[in-house]
Structure 1
C-alpha cells in the first residue's frame, strides 16, 4: 500500500507568508495535494484560504482548501481548483488571496478577544459555538448576556486594545501542562496543544501579562489592535438558552460603520438635520404617526357608525336586519361593533368577505354557518360577531333573510 504524502503546513510558521513553491504529490479530479502549502484549510469556524497556483504551462484558481476528510491522520491537504490540471511531480507557485486571509485573521482574533471581554464581565458568559464564515461573525454564549452586557463588553474591549499593546504568541505545550495557562475554554485536544495567546508586550527581562489564552488551530493578527474596530450589531436568543452575539471586525467593521454613517447622514439630510439628531427626529415622527393613527381610527369609527345607522333596515319576524356594503374587508370588525341595539347587521364586501353582528338574541355564528350550508362559503364565529368568505354574496344575503324569517 502506498502511503499518502503529508502536506507540510507553512501557515503556522509564517502566517504572513502568502507566496510559496511546492511539488504536486497527487491529483484527484478537481483537487490537488501539494508537498507544502501556505493555504489554510477550513476549520475552527474560520474559512479556508483561496488564491492561485501557477506552473510551467498552466495556472489554476484555488477555490477551497480542506484537510483530508477520509483519513484525518494522513496530514494531506486538498486544494480544490478551477482551471488547468497540474501534473503530478510538477513544481507549482502558490499565492494566497491576501485580502481574504487578512480579513479571516481579523475576524478570528476579534472572536477570541470579544469572547474574553464577555468572560471578564461574567464567568457564566462561556462560549458554546462560534462562526467567522462571513463579515457578520457570531459567538453563541451561555449565561444569557443582555444587550447592556454586550455594550459593556464592546466598551471593555475597545478600551483594552486602545490602552494596552497586546501581541500574539503561538506556542505548543503538552496536554499535561495546560493547567499552567488560564484557558478561557477547555479543550478536547490531546497530546501537543497549540495555544493562541494575546498578552502585553513584555518589557525586557519580564513576562507579559495574559489577556486571552485559547487552544486554537486558526490564524490570527500579530497585534490585537489590528482586529479593531470590533462592533456588536445585535444579540439574539437562540435554542438551548444561548445568546448569539453578532459582530463585525477589522476592515469589514470599518467599511460597515462607514456605510452606516453615510446612510444616516443622507437620511438626516432629508430632515435638514445631522446624524446625531436623527434619533430625535425619527422619534418625533413616530409619535406624530401614532397620534394620527389614533385620530384616523376615531374618524373611521365615527364614519362606519354613521354608515351603519344610514344602512336600510327591515323587519324580519321579530328581528330588525340591516345590510351594509363596504369596500374594505378590514373595516368589518369595526362595523360589527357598531351594530345597533336589538338588531342584526349583515356587512358585505365586493371581495366576498362577509360579517354578521348581533345586538339581539340571535346567535350570528350559527346563523352564518347555516347560510353557508345553503349557498357555499366558509366561516363562523361567536354569538355576537361572525365572519366568513363566500363566492355568492347575494346568496348569503338571501339566505340570512330566509333563516331569520324562519326563526
Structure 2
C-alpha cells in the first residue's frame, strides 16, 4: 500500500510520525518505505527533501512504482514507529525557487507566448529554457512586474480538475495530460500542471532576481533566484563592491566611475608600454643583425610581447629566433620564428622534451613549456 503523502496535505509540516513498512539494502545505504511521509520525493523539477527518520539520516527521496522510498544511511526496523524531521531550510528554499519560477514562466508565456521547455533547480541558481528570444534589455521591466505580483501577496491555489473540467482550462504543460492532474495556480499570473510544492502566498517568495539571459538552441536560457538566495546574492555583491571601494579609495556608490577612470589610465599606460617595447624590440633586432640562431630569455612578458619580440628579431637574424618569458610559476611562454623555415618537427620535439604545448604556422609558433631555464638551454645546445 502506497504511503500517504503528507506533503500534499500541508507543505509546512516539518515533523511527523510514521510506521516503517519496508527496509531493504540500496545503492546508497538503505531504502525505507513508510505508511505515511512528509518527505517530498524528487519530481516535477523540484529536488527531494532531506532530514532524519529516527536515528537515520535521509539522504535522498525518490518515487518508484507509486511508492516513496527514503534513502537512509542506516537500516530501520520494519514495524517500528519513527519520527521524521524535514530539513525545513532546504524545503522552504526549494518552495521559494519553484514558486518564483512559475511566476517567471507564466509572465513570459503571457507577454511573449513562449513555453518553458527546460527547467533546472540548482543549489545556487535556477535555469529556465524558453523556446523564443527574450531581449536582455527587457529583464528589468519583467523583474519589476514579477515582484509586484509577489508583493500583492496573492494566495496560491492547488486544483484537481475532472477530465471534463481540464478540457475547458487554459494551463501550461510540457505534455498532453489526461486523468488525474494536479494544477498549481497563481491567480491572474499562471496556471500550470505541477506535482511540486509551493508557498501558500506569493509574499513568501520574498523577491525574484533575474540574473541573465543567453541564447540557447532556438530560444534562450534564463538564470534566476528567489527568496533568501536573493539576499545572499545581494550581500555577496555588496561585499565585493565594498572591497573594490576600499581598493580604489572610492565611495561604494562611485566604484563604477572609479573603475572607468582606472581603465582609461591603464589603456593610456599600455599604449606607452607598447611604444617603449616596440622601440626596444627594434633595437634588439638591429643588435642581432645576421647573428644566425638566437635564444632570448625575458621575465614577466605577456604572450603578445613575446610574439612581437620574436617577430622583430626573426626578420634580421637570418636564422631561428626563440624567445622565452618566465611566467613565475615554473613555466615559460615561448615564441619561435624562422623566415621561410619549417619548425613543425623541431617544435614537436621541444614540446615533448620540455612538457610543452603550442602551435601556429610552419615558420612561427607560440605556446608554453613546463621546464627550467637550464633545461630549455640544454635542449637548444643539443640542436646547434
Q: TM-score scaled to structure 1, two decimals?
A: 0.77
Deviates more, 1:331-340 or 1:42-51: 331-340
- Which residue does 1:232 correspond to in 2? 210
> 1: CA distance between counterparts of 2:270 and 2:220?
36
The SS at the match of 1:192 is coil
CA contact (8 A) 2:107 2:190 kept: no
Post-superposition offset of 1:186:
4.8
Counterpart check, 1:216 vs 2:194: yes
2:185 pairs, out of 193, 197, 211, with: 197
The SS at the match of 1:298 is helix
- Which residue does 2:146 correspond to in 1? 157
1:140 pairs, out of 119, 124, 129, with: 129
Post-superposition offset of 1:46:
0.7
- Which residue does 1:326 correspond to in 2? 296
1:27 pairs, out of 23, 28, 33, with: 23
Q: Which runs of 4+ in 1 moved over 3 A?
A: 184-189, 321-325, 328-333, 335-343, 348-358, 376-382, 385-392
Deviations 1:250-291 (A, max 9, x none): 012212212221221232122222332122222222222222
Deviations 1:375-394 (A, max 9, x none): x7688846xx5348986434
Where does structure 2 lack aligned partners over 5 or more consecutive residues?
Answer: 325-331, 352-358, 368-375
1:365 pairs, out of 341, 358, 363, with: 341
Post-superposition offset of 1:218:
0.6
Distance 1:7 1:133, change over 3 A: farther
Deviations 1:203-253 (A, max 9, x none): xxxxxxx21100000110011121122112223333x33422111110122
CA contact (8 A) 1:107 1:137 kept: yes
Alpha-carbon RMSD across the aligned residues, in angstroms, is: 2.9
Deviations 1:329-369 (A, max 9, x none): 944532354369887353234679674454xxxxx224x56
Matches within 5 A, 1:44-83: 44-54=44-54, 59-68=55-64, 72=65, 75-83=66-74
Where does structure 1 lack aligned partners over 5 or more consecutive residues?
Answer: 200-209, 314-320, 359-363, 399-407
Distance 1:15 1:342, change over 3 A: closer
The SS at the match of 2:69 is strand
Structure of greater Rg: 1
CA contact (8 A) 2:281 2:309 kept: yes
CA contact (8 A) 2:310 2:322 kept: no
Counterpart check, 1:167 vs 2:167: no
- Which residue does 1:17 correspond to in 2? 13
Q: How many equivalent residue pairs?
A: 352
The SS at the match of 1:292 is helix
